[in-house]
Structure 1
Amino acid sequence: MNKIILTILLILIFNTSIQAQKEQKWTSIINDKESTWFASAEAKEVAKNVLLYQRNIGGWPKNIQMQNPLTATEKQNLIALKTDLNEITTDNGATCQEMLFLSKMYAQVPDERYKNAFLSGLDYLLKAQYENGGWPQFYPLKKGYYSHITYNDDSMVHILNVLKEIAEKTDYYSIKPSEATIEKSKIAFNKGIDCILKTQYKQNEVLTAWCAQHDEITMLPAKARAYELPSLSGKESAKIVLLLMSIKNPSPEIVAAVNSAFVWFEKTKITDLREERVPVPNSKIIEKVMVKDPSAEPLWARFMELSDNTPFFCDRDGIKKATLAEIGQERRTGYAWYTNEPKEVLKKYPNWKKNSESETIISLKKSEVTLKDEFNIVVDQNGNGDFKTIQEAVNAAKSYPSQRITIFIKNGTYYEKVKVHAWNTCISFIGESREKTIITYDDYFNKINLGRNSTFHTYTVLVEGNDFIAKNLTIQNSSGEVGQAVALNVNANRVVFSNCTFLGNQDTLYTSGEGTKNYFKDCYIEGTTDFIFGDATALFENCTIHSKSDSYITAASTPKDTSYGYVFKNCKLTADKKVTKAYLGRPWRPYAKTVYINCEMGKHILPEGWHNWSKREAETSSFYAEYKCTGEGFQPKTRVSWSHQLKDSEAKKYTIEKILDSDSTKATKQWYLKFN
């Protein structure tokens, strides 16, 4: 009899435990349970569910109460979904929170399944990152606003906090990745911070805060759901700033971002409103009412106008309203329109400011360099200049300077990977001589090994600062014929290269950035396949374009409705002796535009001239043309039928002013003449 009673008691205890587990939220289980609980049988059962819900790509779906028991049928369904690529996300804490759970499990029960699942999740986060440093809400990408860079509900901040712990090799996670993965995490974290700095919104040229989501191409504030319009976010911006404040030895750009955001939070706080929840008689509805209260704790609006920070509210019709009371009850009570999260920024800011200023002083003392002229910096690898490396000179240059900074580079072979950051505007690289001032590095796709976008990390020189000029130097990717390997990546506007040489093989020159304009004059560019590629508008004038193998010269990805893509004027197309079958170009993207005007074409250019990259639709959407070219390779009568030979009236549109000045402001007109 005693055995029967004991059995009943055990069943009751077990059922009570399961019921309590059901009632407790998944996030509470991860964050609130004592560490010893993760060694329990109960935790192991939950861990089985977590492993089942993880997809083969490494991520998890969202809003799953992982602790809830699964039936046999549900388990089989989850196994069948392992290869499914839909609805995998970092939204609402998904993936990052499951990784934390697995780490806590592994600390108590070193089961390799937990470790492997955690590392797979980390790989997923790294794969999902955009080249610009941001993350979409869903990966693989889901159509709609889900592809925007997503700060909403702190999604990207959660990811960056994971990467920060990994990169800094802290003990926060019990599972330790390989050194290679740690290095990838460092790169991804830095790119993410760079994305945050680039997306901080400028209001009348003053840095403010962030939108909940930013367009993944333009990086501007973007719309999500009908009631989530482009705006400045009082909520999401808070966690972004707290992340920036957590970075040790912050750069001047991070310090400026935090200081600006703090000022904005102070400016936009609401000090006379309090939210009340009022039951509606004879219903289950709890109404949300904003009450005037001079003694209320500060609040911030979730959405504020980009132009003047005025709070606004929207119903599902997307029409802005001035007050919360003006929208329907369903959205009024079913969404967080106000937040107090920035109060943590205001609380921590004084100490952060004091510490950051101290760290800046210490950093300056450690690397103090007295420049004779901060607008004229000399680089000499032999030690007879201000710096021995080009990157040191760039790092020491003033951000957003009041006048052009010239970095004079003495003759020598500089084996380094150089990045001109977005804040390094108005910088000039002037080499002592084109032949003997050489910047070289040897990264390539498989060496970088950062997934499908590895190409974009292989650059020797990356230019992100607008109004950049380079003269009299050589930029080389010396990795050899090993696949994609970029020598120069230009992702900036109003950039000039004059009397320069670009050496490489596949993907030598990448001109990126929708709407950006580049000018290459008197340059030599060589390569094998697609060695001039990208989406920028670029004019190549009096350049030599040299093919090293039978392949394709250009692979433009011109955006739709862009007037000009690649324009080659008075250029000379040459080739190695072995080369006999080269195409003028093929469309990387469907609206590619490439035009050759008054160019001398060697006999290596194929009679058909152009290739459609097996994209029949590109034959009608792309624009490939020539005008009054010469040489054995210019055979207009045998060109593919979907290419064009320009008429005189059409060719008149291809002036330097129309190509490069079409959207210039008064201050930037004829920017391409400033290199002289």
Structure 2
Amino acid sequence: MNLRTLFFLISLFVIQMVNSQLIDKNWVRLAATKDENFLKSPEARRIAENVLSYQKNNGGWEKNVPMHKVLSDDEVQKLLRSKNDFTVTTIDNDATTQEMRFLANVARFQPDERYRTAFLKGIDYLLKAQYENGGWPQFYPIQSNYSSHITYNDDAMVNVLFLWQELLEKRQSFPISIPAETFPEIQKSFYKGIDIILKTQYRQNGKLTVWCAQHDEFSLFPAKARAYELPSLSGKESATLVLFLMSLKNPSPEVIRSVESAVNWFKINKITGFKEVRIDGDKKWVKDLNAIPIWARFSDLETNEPFFCDRDGIRKKSYSEIGFERRNGYAWFTDAPSQVLEKYGAWKMENVKTLPDKNLYTVSKDGTGDFDNIQQAIDHCKSFPEERITIFIKNGIYEEKVKLHQWNTNLKILGESKEKTIIRFGDYFAKMDKARNSTFFTPTFLVEGNDAILENLTIENSAGEVGQAITLSIVANRTAIVNCRLLGNQDTLFLDQEAKILIKDSYIEGTTDFIFGGATAFFENCEIHSKKNSFITAPSTPKGSGFGFVFTNCRLTASEGLNEVYLGRPWRNFAQSVFINSDFGNHISPKGWDNWNKKEAEKTTFFGEFGNTGKGADLSGRVSWSKKLSEKEALKFTKKNVLKDELRKNWYKMADQK
């Protein structure tokens, strides 16, 4: 045997050994390999032939196909006959993008025009598959099932965006030559993809959190997939989305806010002190104080609590409650967010410029302000500032719950215009499910910090007529509401006891008890609009208080057809409401007041009137226990007397300061 023959036999043996090893390798890993020796080999070229055979005529590939397996002649012919089977083309489970990457990697060392043609067909497929809003469905052409949703599941959509990112960065240095006119299309697709990621990030009570594995392609809300994949917040898919956003150069303020919000969610909702183990082939959940942090695959959209599901689609609190097959056949936990948290520090140092403390911040929906979210602006403010801080909100509809915490004192929330700066949310009693006190969890806007001013705003509880649903809740002292619109139904405005509150030049609407609570409040030049025959005020004034609710120079209006609206009724027995020099429509009941079926309250309440005008102001039919104030008695109810405060005697004048 000569040396040439020996070398040939040795080479053949090595190739056979390589082949036998590759056949057993995982195709996903092989598709992404950068091993130069392999990519130059005849074996890589053989696999590339398979990849070409599997590509459909629309440019896509099907999923879960081991492209590296040796194909028989019959299998190749079958593939050729199925070139127009477009029902299987997808981006799920790494399909299409991984085949394109493999062809590009091989083409770097073994150029072939067929690889370029296939790659460009793949680009065309991905561009056509994208929705106009920027998302991608799981399968394209679109199928009439859950796969039509915008699909973050198993990183399907992000894989496309990472590919686009690489093409845009490398351009002419990419191993596949791409026509110059294609790059603007890829760039447009890339930015649309970023935009839909930002738009689908879930807001929980107005705060950005993370994402669901799939979102409805029309409403953009979290959506259901398989029976055990319910709408939820996903730890796994959200981690990859954040890593993608963190990879962007010169990130926009919106991208930065998105990343920071998601990172905050990951920090709050990590699970520590527990881990998964397999005991006799079955997953168990055990305590381990040294376990690495993990996150749930599915977390509740409102409470963030992990949940689990079997094929019956019924939520469970632990996976010990679901069957063996689903418990062990699905990844219910992930450590993927750990990678985000590891990289976050360096990313923040490079990209996030901390806003200095200042006295004016701007909130804008279009990204031109310091923040695009009101609560983020409030949370950024210095605690207990000595000088007033103003948050200026540009026109727009802000769908969020807003809270001025106790430490957010001396804040002014100033809208650009009363009609067009709208803060809206829709919580209500039954939705909150907090037992008998659920009402107080419903406010769209909650003020706990003293010395606040709210001006030029529309604040709305959009729940509709569903029972108790607070629009604005004030549980702080020395609060001024100026030139605002408070929209709601039952319990629109809650004013807590022991507080002094000024409400002027504002519109307040509601149905039943829509101004209620125990505070001392002075209403000046306001329109009080009743939407049904019911009760305007329901004071719970504490015993011994000098004043309750005082309305001066106000207008009482109503929806058409109303004729039995009462000025008030006592929520508690020492209730106080007084109307002075106000205009009453004919919707006001001749009786004026109601005792709430509490006869004893007639002796302790103080419901009074003086100098009012209009068809509803006739006192002749009033209940005997209400008060017809004299001019001298009415002089007691001045703004200065009602709102005086020992700490800051003329604090209410701040509402007139521009």
TM-score interval, normalised by the smaller of the two chains: 0.5 to 0.7
User: In structure 2, how many angstroms separate the alpha carbons of the residues matched to 1:319 and 1:375?
Assistant: 41
* Structure 1 residues 346 and 401: CA distance shift in structure 2, 3 A: closer
| Partners of 1:399 and 1:425 within 8 A in 2 | no
Q: Tell me the residue number matched to 1:295.
A: 290
Q: 1:196 to 1:274 in 2, by over 3 A?
A: same
SS at match of 1:235: helix
- Deviation (angstroms), 1:344: 0.7
Aligned-residue offset at 1:60:
0.5
Which structure 2 residues correspond to residues 343-354 of structure 1 after superposition, within 5 A?
Answer: 343-354=338-349
2:81 is the alignment partner of 1:111 = no
Is 1:177 aligned to 2:172, yes or no?
Answer: no
CA contact (8 A) 2:31 2:102 kept: yes
Task: Using the aligned pairs only, state the percent identity.
Answer: 48
Deviation of 1:138 (Å): 0.3
- Match in the other structure for 2:443: none
Give the one of 396, 401, 413 matched to 1:426: 396
In the TM superposition, what is the alpha-carbon distance from 1:229 to its structure 2 partner?
0.4
CA, structure 1 residues 65+397, in 2 after alignment: closer, same or farther (shift >3 Å)? same
1:311 corresponds to 2:306:
yes
* Contact 2:254 2:367 (C-alpha < 8 Å) held by counterparts: no
Distance of aligned partners of 1:98 and 1:33 in 2 relative to their CA distance in 1, 3 Å threshold:
same
Contact 1:394 1:424 (C-alpha < 8 Å) held by counterparts: no
Asked if the contact 2:135–2:150 (Cα under 8 Å) also holds between the matched residues in 1, the reply is yes
CA contact (8 A) 1:249 1:360 kept: no
Match of 1:58 in 2: 59
TM-score with structure 2 length normalisation? 0.54
* Alignment counterpart, residue 320 of structure 1, candidates 293, 315, 333: 315
Maintained 8 Å contact 2:151/2:213: yes
Unaligned runs of 5+ in 2: 375-392, 398-418, 423-559, 561-658
Supply the AA of the counterpart residue of 2:228. Answer: Y
Cα gap change, 1:153 to 1:424, in 2 (>3 Å): farther
Note closer, same or farther for the CA distance 1:261–1:320 as it changes in structure 2 (3 Å cut): same
In structure 1, distance between residues paired with 2:300 and 2:361: 42
Equivalent pair of 2:271/2:295 in contact (CA under 8 Å): yes
Q: Deviations over 1:406-442 (max 9, x none)?
A: xxxxxxxxxxxxxxxxx98629xxxxxxxxxxxxxxx
What's the counterpart of residue 87 of structure 2?
A: 86
1:94-109 alignment to 2 at 5 Å? 94-109=95-110
Are the counterparts in 2 of residues 165 and 172 from structure 1 also a CA contact under 8 Å?
A: no
| Cα separation, partners in 2 of 1:9 and 1:230, compared to 1, 3 Å | same
Asked whether 1:255 is paired with 2:256, we answer: yes
- Alpha carbons of structure 1 residues 304 and 179: separation in structure 2 relative to 1, 3 Å: same
Distance 2:228 2:361 in 1: 52
Q: Distance in 1 between matches of 2:369 and 2:11?
A: 71
Q: Which amino acid in structure 1 is aligned with residue 52 of structure 2?
A: L
> Match of 1:339?
334
The Cα shift of 1:178 comes to 2.1
- Distance in 2 between residues matched to 1:290 and 1:142, nearest whole Å: 38
**1:188-207: CA deviations, max 9, x gaps?**
11111110011000111111
The yes-or-no answer on 1:145 pairing with 2:146 is yes
2:363 touches 2:371 (CA, 8 Å); kept in 1? Answer: no
C-alpha displacement at 1:128, in angstroms? Answer: 0.6
For 1:375 and 1:292, the matched residues in 2 are separated by 45
Q: Report the equivalent of 2:206.
A: 205
Aligned partner of residue 168 in structure 1, secondary structure: helix
Are residues 237 and 395 of structure 1, via their aligned partners in 2, closer, same or farther at CA, if it must alter by over 3 Å?
Answer: closer
Q: Is the 8 A contact 1:400 1:426 kept in 2?
A: no
Deviations 1:79-101 (A, max 9, x none): 11112211100101011111110
Structure 1 residues 399 and 288: CA distance shift in structure 2, 3 A: same
Change beyond 3 A, Cα 1:171–1:15? same
Q: Residue 146 and residue 397 in structure 1: after superposition, are their counterparts in 2 closer, same or farther (change >3 A)?
A: same
Give 2:46's aligned residue: 45
Q: Which residue of 1 aligns with 2:523?
A: none
| Cross-structure match for 1:75 | 76
Query: TM-score, normalising length from structure 1?
Result: 0.53
Q: Greater CA radius of gyration, 1 or 2?
A: 2
Distance 1:395 1:256, change over 3 A: closer
Q: Distance in 1 between matches of 2:167 and 2:69?
A: 30
Matches within 5 A, 1:195-594: 195-278=196-279, 280=280, 286-358=281-353, 396=368, 400=372, 426=396
Q: CA deviation at 1:357?
A: 2.2
Q: The residue matched to 1:136 in structure 2 has which SS?
A: coil
Correspondence for 1:481? none
1:400–1:425 CA contact under 8 A, matched in 2? no
CA distance in 2, matches of 1:132, 1:399: 24
Q: For 1:433-476, what per-residue CA distance to the aligned partner results, in whole angstroms no more than 9, with x for missing partners?
A: xxxxxxxxxxxxxxxxxxxxxxxxxxxxxxxxx9699xxxxxxx
1:278-325 CA-to-partner distances (Å, cap 9, x unmatched) read: 3x3xxxxx2222211111100000000001100011111111111121
The residue identity in structure 2 corresponding to 1:110 is P
**2:362 and 2:371 in contact (8 A); partners too:** no
Instruction: Name the counterpart of 1:136.
Output: 137
- Size of the aligned set, in residue pairs, is 381
Q: Given residue 185 of structure 1, which amino acid in structure 2 is its aligned partner?
A: I
Residue type of the alignment partner of 2:289: P
Shift of 1:18: 2.4
State the 1:158 CA deviation.
0.5
What is residue 405 of structure 1 aligned with on the other side? none
Structure 1 residues 374 and 314, CA gap change in structure 2 (3 angstroms): closer
Please state whether the residue corresponding to 1:75 is helix, strand or coil: helix
Whether the 8 Å contact between 2:34 and 2:105 is mirrored in structure 1 is: no
- Supply the AA of the counterpart residue of 1:229: L
For residues 484-540 of structure 1, what are the alpha-carbon distances to aligned partners after superposition, in whole Å with 9 as ceiling and x for unaligned? xxxxxxxxxxxxxxxxxxxxxxxxxxxxxxxxxxxxxxxxxxxxxxxxxxxxxxxxx
Structure-1 separation of matches of 2:354 and 2:40: 42
Query: Whole-Å Cα distance in 1 between the matches of residues 28 and 19 of structure 2?
Result: 16
CA contact 1:249–1:359 (8 Å) conserved in 2: no
Could you say which residue in structure 1 is the equivalent of 2:188? 187
Question: 1:383-427 deviations in whole A, cap 9, x for unaligned?
Answer: xxxxxxxxxx9664566487xxxxxxxxxxxxxxxxxxxx98629
Shift of 1:166: 1.8
Q: Post-superposition shift, 1:11?
A: 5.6
TM-superposed deviation, 1:110: 1.5
Cα deviation code 1:214-237 (max 9, x no counterpart): 000100000000110000001000
Residue 361 of structure 2 contacts residue 370 of structure 2 at CA under 8 Å; is this kept in 1?
A: no
Work out the CA distance in 1 between the residues paired with 2:219 and 2:167: 30
> Aligned pair in 2 of structure 1 residues 252, 306: CA closer, same or farther (>3 Å)?
same
The letter of the residue matching 1:345 is V
Structure 1 residues 15 and 197 mapped into 2: Cα distance closer, same or farther (>3 Å)?
same
1:565-607: CA deviation from partner (whole Å, max 9, x where unpaired): xxxxxxxxxxxxxxxxxxxxxxxxxxxxxxxxxxxxxxxxxxx
Task: Report SS of the residue matched to 2:176.
Answer: coil
Give 2:40's aligned amino acid: A
Deviation at 1:172, TM superposition (A): 7.6
Three-state SS of the structure 2 residue aligned to 1:86 is helix
* CA displacement at 1:162 relative to structure 2: 0.8
Q: Hey, what does 2:36 align to over in structure 1?
A: 35
Q: Which residue identity is paired with 2:54? A: Y
Unpaired runs of 5+ residues, structure 1, are 281-285, 362-371, 377-392, 403-422, 428-465, 470-656, 658-676
- Structure 1 residue 56: Cα displacement: 1.2
RMSD: 3.1
Which aligned pairs between 1:654-673 and structure 2 lie closer than 5 A? none
Separation in 2, partners of 1:358, 1:311: 34
Q: CA deviation at 1:277?
A: 2.3
